[in-house]
Chains A and B, each alone.
Chain A
Amino acid sequence: MTLTRRNAWNNGGTFDNPDLLWYAKAVAVMKSRPISDATSWWFYAAIHMEYYNTDPIPKYDYLAWKKIKSIPQALLQTAPSESLTNQYWNQCTHGNLFFLPWHRGYLAAIEHLLRDIIVNDLKGPADWALPYWNYLNRKEHQDKVPDAFTQKTLKLSATEEIDNPLYVPERYTQSFSDLTEKSQGMLRFSYFSNELEDNPHGHAHVDTGGGTPPLGLMSKLQTAGLDPIFYLHHANIDRMWAAWNKHGNHNPTDQAWLNSVDNVIKKPFAMPMDSAGTPWVYTSKDVTTTDINYYNNTVYQFTYDDLSLYSDDTKTVLTSQEVWASRLKTLNPDIDAVTMIQIPMELNAELAGANSGQLDLTKGTVQTKVALDSKSWDKVGNTLLSASPNNLPDEVFLQLEGVKGTEDGNKVALFVNQEFVTKFSLFGLETASAPDNHGGAGLTLRADITHIIDKLHLEGNFDVDALDIQLEVQGEIDERGTITVDRIGLYRVQQ
């Protein structure tokens, strides 16, 4: 049976939507189980990441699970066995190309578990599937948390009312206006995955949880899985991946990705299939499509009721082909109409400039210069001069390297030569900065500035020694907060 994941906003995003009603009832069952049970809500949240065995830094002390008021503390009393926690907890992968496949398997496992409860314990529909929350559908005002997640109680009958299992008080939702779907127009998986992970994924996390202290559950990796909206958010991210594939874009084919072997992976991808913790172990190759190679050699099939590439038709978003065609025509007006451009999938980047010295963003706004290496810069200029469909010009990226600190709820806006480029989410910053978790490398944030370089070229201002960079922190930073950037690198990507 192919399951269909449907829009959470159906029937107004209330409990009139049966997908949400059954979800709430099944979540209540999972939430009633102790954390020692591998099928409990708490155990599954810890598979993503946890502050149960791990202590937060003092600044986020209030997010330690044993201090979160909405968790019934009695259910946290007995810890699972060490072998279970070693195998399953703190698996989530972020900031690399395994982000999408790991989360697809995670969603399938919890969806399967919830459906088992719905069908066997609650006698609900056998075709229930996890709904998705498409905050990019602005036309129909879906860029807010559905009502079923915000009301404090759930009426089961005329006489019976319970605490709403989908509501958590630690959710301080802010505007979703920064969300974009630029990722959907990108042809290369590495561009697509990187962009999708930052926006909408990272932005939606902090917009839902809140960016100003105290942070909500969704704003930290270690607490996000506790909020029932988390799984609907990730279903939407997964939907965007499926839509991207459906529209002719391809996943990586290298063995390292397919077999999930890379030192960025913390542990083998594994999900518990029952309360004793029987594992389903998978790799990327098992989840490259929505027909998953699942537990016990079965196929787990699902789809989405909407696999449109774009949701927000209030904005014009161009595909990569259209962007390239327009770019070539602008750089070289003599080119005839461009129909199909062969864009190489192989990436080959080279540093062409950098700033010097670490940047401290703790005060809010920082300006610096990215000095250009004349030899590399000339190469960029030459490709712009000879741009044609058979001789594609370089792309140029800025990369914020070693972004470290504590301010997971903040965002940073990037300006180049006084022109706004993008806004980065710092979701996961503190974890990425911890030496015993991510090797202390911090976040790597990347922005395509090709259009700015093209403009310099077209306006005859290409012959410069440096670019002016401004970074603006968007939220508040308290006295214990830090944000630093080790280096800003400028890279040319040869085509």
Chain B
Amino acid sequence: MWLSKKTRNSILLGILGLSLLVWVLLLVNPGNIITIEHCKAPAMVLCSGDTVLPENSLQTLLELNPISGLLAGWGLMVVAMMLPKLILPIEYIYARSLKRYRFRLSVLFVLGYLSSWMLAGVIMTGVILAFNYWLPTSYLPAIGVGIMAAIYQCSPVKQRFLNLGHDHWNLPAFGFPAFRAATLFGVVHGAWCVGSGWALMLFPMLLPEGHNIAMFIVTFMMISEHLEHPQPLRWGFYPRLRLLKYIVAQAKIKWITAKV
């Protein structure tokens, strides 16, 4: 049903604000939580604590990049990049839920969604570490994954996941079933999102340099394709520019307001 403009604006600003905050955190990158660190010195140097480690050993890599830190970085990256994609489903939850449940159901939905990406993160962080172990500071993994992402981008499998991302769950109105459904909706929505976006997400993480700008571009692409209407399943290149159109439309609003 219809949400007031005030409610829709609160959802928009709340989510964009949180995403922006995490983006700033990622750009500052405290403790190098989102980049893979390598020893820059010659072989057999003191890289961590008092232990002398070989430059390219897995142990060195894990000493410099503990799994917990990598997963924390991954989680922050998901929050920054993916949260804006959740504006529409959260609006849907608000529109279809009792007023006093709205916020809690939305939080559960987001947590469910993040849990899917975190599960994927365990595997993807492993892949990132493996590439960094075998081909440290090389552009080859990023190029390889970039080519794979470009092919996947045109595939009907990706389109299927994008279409599934439009599946809005039936939400029971009352009590525990409402909370359970919102959480599961988040988990499943997250799974479809992982299915459509895993290759794009992997790409910036494998870049030895410039992954912030790559992350920004990928975010733009992923939000934009999420805003597109479901499409028939077939191979093809679709320019997905819906976000750009939204921004242009919004800019016109501001321009008109400024004139008035």
Q: Are A255 and B163 in contact (CB under 8 A)?
A: no
Q: Are A437 and B230 in contact (CB under 8 A)?
A: yes
Interface residue A147 (Cβ < 8 Å from any Cβ of B): no
Q: Are A436 and B160 in contact (CB under 8 A)?
A: yes
Q: Are B245 and A373 in contact (CB under 8 A)?
A: no
Q: Which residue of the partner chain B has the closest CB to A349?
A: B1
Q: Are A350 and B99 in contact (CB under 8 A)?
A: yes
B231-260 CB mask vs A (1 if < 8 Å, else 0) is: 111001000001001101110110000000
Q: Are A358 and B174 in contact (CB under 8 A)?
A: no
Within 8 Å CB of A493, what residues of B? 1-2
Q: Are A373 and B166 in contact (CB under 8 A)?
A: no
Q: Are A190 and B170 in contact (CB under 8 A)?
A: no
The answer to whether residues A376 and B98 also contact, given A259-B249, A351-B1, A401-B170 and a CB cut-off of 8 A, is yes
Within 8 Å CB of B172, what residues of A? 354, 356, 487
Interface residue A371 (Cβ < 8 Å from any Cβ of B): yes
Q: Which of A28-36, A63-71, A261-269 interfaces with chain B?
A: A261-269
The answer to whether residues A440 and B166 also contact, given A259-B245, A263-B88, A351-B97 and a CB cut-off of 8 A, is yes
Within 8 Å CB of A487, what residues of B? 170-173
Q: Are A438 and B230 in contact (CB under 8 A)?
A: yes
Q: Are B252 and A255 in contact (CB under 8 A)?
A: yes
Q: Are A263 and B245 in contact (CB under 8 A)?
A: no
Within 8 Å CB of A190, what residues of B? 2
Q: Are B95 and A435 in contact (CB under 8 A)?
A: no
Within 8 Å CB of B233, what residues of A? 436
Q: Are A348 and B163 in contact (CB under 8 A)?
A: no
In the complex, what distance in Å separates the CA atom of A435 from the CA atom of B248? Answer: 30
The answer to whether residues A439 and B168 also contact, given A256-B249, A346-B4 and a CB cut-off of 8 A, is yes
In the complex, what distance in Å separates the CA atom of A265 from the CA atom of B249? Answer: 15
Q: Are A54 and B245 in contact (CB under 8 A)?
A: no
The count of chain A contact residues (Cβ–Cβ below 8 Å) is 44
Q: Which residue of the partner chain A has the closest CB to B238?
A: A86
A228-266 CB mask vs B (1 if < 8 Å, else 0) is: 000000000000000000000000000110110101111
The answer to whether residues A263 and B99 also contact, given A397-B1, A401-B170, A439-B163 and a CB cut-off of 8 A, is no
Q: Which of B4, B164, B170, B253 contacts A255 (CB 8 A)?
A: B253
In the complex, what distance in Å separates the CA atom of A440 from the CA atom of B242? Answer: 21
Q: Which of B164, B170, B250, B253 contacts A486 (CB 8 A)?
A: B170
Q: Are A375 and B100 in contact (CB under 8 A)?
A: yes
Interface residue B167 (Cβ < 8 Å from any Cβ of A): yes
Within 8 Å CB of A86, what residues of B? 236
Q: Which of A264, A349, A436, A486 contacts B2 (CB 8 A)?
A: A349
Interface residue B180 (Cβ < 8 Å from any Cβ of A): no
A344-376 CB mask vs B (1 if < 8 Å, else 0) is: 001111111110101000000000000101011
Q: Are A376 and B232 in contact (CB under 8 A)?
A: no
How far, in Å, is B85 (CB) from chain A's closest CB? Answer: 11
How far, in Å, is B7 (CB) from chain A's closest CB? Answer: 8
Q: Are B4 and A348 in contact (CB under 8 A)?
A: yes
Interface residue A185 (Cβ < 8 Å from any Cβ of B): no
The answer to whether residues A371 and B174 also contact, given A255-B252, A441-B168, A489-B96 and a CB cut-off of 8 A, is yes
A460-495 CB mask vs B (1 if < 8 Å, else 0) is: 000000000000000000000000001101010100
Within 8 Å CB of B249, what residues of A? 255-256, 258-259, 261
Q: Are A261 and B242 in contact (CB under 8 A)?
A: yes
How far, in Å, is B150 (CB) from chain A's closest CB? Answer: 19
In the complex, what distance in Å separates the CA atom of A491 from the CA atom of B228? Answer: 29
The answer to whether residues A354 and B174 also contact, given A259-B245, A261-B242, A436-B232 and a CB cut-off of 8 A, is yes
Q: Are B1 and A346 in contact (CB under 8 A)?
A: no
Q: Are B229 and A54 in contact (CB under 8 A)?
A: no
Within 8 Å CB of A399, what residues of B? 1
In the complex, what distance in Å separates the CA atom of A256 from the CA atom of B253? Answer: 10
Q: Which of A261, A439, A440 contacts B245 (CB 8 A)?
A: A261
In the complex, what distance in Å separates the CA atom of A493 from the CA atom of B170? Answer: 21
Q: Are A439 and B4 in contact (CB under 8 A)?
A: no
In the complex, what distance in Å separates the CA atom of A259 from the CA atom of B250? Answer: 10
Interface residue B40 (Cβ < 8 Å from any Cβ of A): no
Q: Are A265 and B229 in contact (CB under 8 A)?
A: yes
The 4 closest A-B pairs by CB, nearest first: A439-B166, A354-B173, A347-B2, A349-B1
Chain A to chain B contacts (Cβ below 8 Å), 9 pairs: A86-B236, A255-B249, A261-B249, A267-B229, A350-B98, A397-B1, A401-B96, A402-B170, A493-B2
- Could you list 16 further interchain pairs (A-B, Cβ under 8 angstroms) beyond the known A255-B252, A376-B99, A401-B170? A266-B231, A349-B2, A349-B95, A351-B173, A352-B98, A376-B98, A435-B163, A435-B230, A436-B231, A436-B232, A438-B230, A439-B163, A439-B167, A439-B229, A441-B168, A493-B1
